[in-house]
Amino acid sequence: DAKTTQPNSMESNEEEPVHLPCNHSTISGTDYIHWYRQLPSQGPEYVIHGLTSNVNNRMASLAIAEDRKSSTLILHRATLRDAAVYYCIPAVSTGANSKLTFGKGITLSVRP
């Protein structure tokens, strides 16, 4: 499985953009990059995923480096509700058990 490296924690101010980085230098060419987040006392929640191109949805944007060795999750305007642990996960696209392997993630704190 591809290894990921994320900072342990980040802080942001409310209503400011947040850029959450992830290094995944060993990712294979067919692995999608997923981001999930886990709010306090809840199950993980899907945020976004992509393969090569940058992706946008209602929650966030995902910027993927051209060499695919890193990606950045962008929250355009952080709210207090965005305080959570964010996981960057290379999702193996082949094999019988295409599972998600969660690392430690980034703990995002949002200041009012």
Partner 1 sequence: EAQVTQNPRYLITVTGKKLTVTCSQNMNHEYMSWYRQDPGLGLRQIYYSMNVEVTDKGDVPEGYKVSRKEKRNFPLILESPSPNQTSLYFCASRHGQRAYNEQFFGPGTRLTVL
Enumerate binding residues for partner 1 (CB under 8 A): 32, 34, 36, 41-46, 49, 51, 91-93, 96-100, 102-105
Q: How far is the CB of 81 from partner 1 (least distance, A)?
A: 17
What SS3 string covers the chain? CCCCECCCEEEEECCCCEEEEEECCCCCCCCEEEEEEECCCCCCEEEEEECCCCEECCCCEEEECCCCCEEEEEECCCCHHHCEEEEEEEECCCCCCCCCCCCCCEEEEEEC
Question: Of 78 and 91, which CB lies nearer to partner 1 in the complex structure?
Answer: 91
Q: How far is the CB of 97 from partner 1 (least distance, A)?
A: 6
Question: Of 23 and 38, which CB lies nearer to partner 1 in the complex structure?
Answer: 38
Q: Do strands 9-13 and 106-111 pair parallel, antiparallel, or not at all (unpaired)?
A: parallel
Q: Which residue has the tokens 């998600």?
A: 100
Question: Of 90 and 110, which CB lies nearer to partner 1 in the complex structure?
Answer: 90
Q: How far is the CB of 12 from partner 1 (least distance, A)?
A: 23
Question: Of 9 and 98, which CB lies nearer to partner 1 in the complex structure?
Answer: 98
Q: How far is the CB of 30 from partner 1 (least distance, A)?
A: 9
